[in-house]
Amino acid sequence: VGLKNALLVLVLYGLLPIVHSTYNALKEVREEVIKAAIGLGCNPKELFFKVRFLLAIPQILVGLRIAVVMLVAMAGIGALIGAGGLGQAIFRGLNTQNTTLLVAGSLIIALFSVLADKFVSVFQHENALQRLFSQNATQKQKRRVYLNLAVFLFLLLASALWLIPRNAIEEKPLVVATKPSSEQYILGEILSLLLEKHHIPIKRAFGIGGGTMNIHPAL
């Protein structure tokens, strides 16, 4: 439970299309090209990095593009295990019948997916990474690639910081709320004691009547 576990699961889940596309891309480099490179005197290291890898980059980026879009779209599920993010807006909207909150969270996640896809497609269609690793690339071409990478990393970092729950940064107390029943009081107290044991500041709000429709606005 928590942000670290959610990130770990997403990373492991996203490895499949990347590893699969990388393996196929390296495997499908034409044998004639390999023989020609060996004939020109390439050693094994040069053969891999300057021939196989360069020719495989477009297909590797296909797998990366699929993984990025898939992970951005699925990151919202992390809210179910306390990872925060835009998934909270979606699930709160479902639980409280708040259509505005539900639609807003869904649209923002969709927007992030589209933007991530567009940025990766820039490198895919313009062969930007091939230019970066190529000895024939001009300084202007390399600067353009570095600029695209910098913009992509900046937006990725900004998105990650924005998606992290605010209480993870500002150390605001977590509110533990329960409905007015014996089981809820017991579970709420158990959860409160567990959080306090890990030195997490909390605020108890037990016995809120009216169910989820009242608990959510009361928080």
pLDDT of residue 71: 87
pLDDT of residue 127: 59
pLDDT of residue 167: 45
pLDDT of residue 217: 55
Tokens standing for residue 43 = 């050693």
CA 77 to chain centre: 11
CATH architecture of the domain with residue range 3-120: Orthogonal Bundle (1.10)
pLDDT of residue 212: 58
Q: Specify burial of residue 76 (Cβ count, 10 A radius: 0-12, 13-18, 19+).
A: buried
Domain ranges of the chain: 3-120, 127-166, 174-206
- H helix count then E strand count, the chain: 11, 2
Cβ(76)–Cβ(105) under 8 Å?
A: yes
Give the C-alpha distances (Å, rounded to integers) separating 73 from 107, 137, 167, 194.
11, 35, 23, 32
Listed as ranges, residues in the chain with pLDDT below 70 are 1-2, 82, 84, 123-138, 141-142, 144-145, 156, 159-171, 208-219
**How many CA atoms within 13 Å lie on the side-chain side of 87?**
18
118-132 tens-digit pLDDT:
877 776 665 555 555
pLDDT of residue 23: 92
| Other CB atoms within 10 Å distance of the CB of residue 39 | 8
78-89 tens-digit pLDDT:
777 767 677 878
Amino acid letter, 19 = V
**How many CA atoms within 13 Å lie on the side-chain side of 139?**
0
pLDDT of residue 190: 92
Query: Measured between alpha carbons, how far is 218 from 204 in angstroms, rounded to an integer?
Result: 12
Residue carrying structure tokens 């809210």? 79
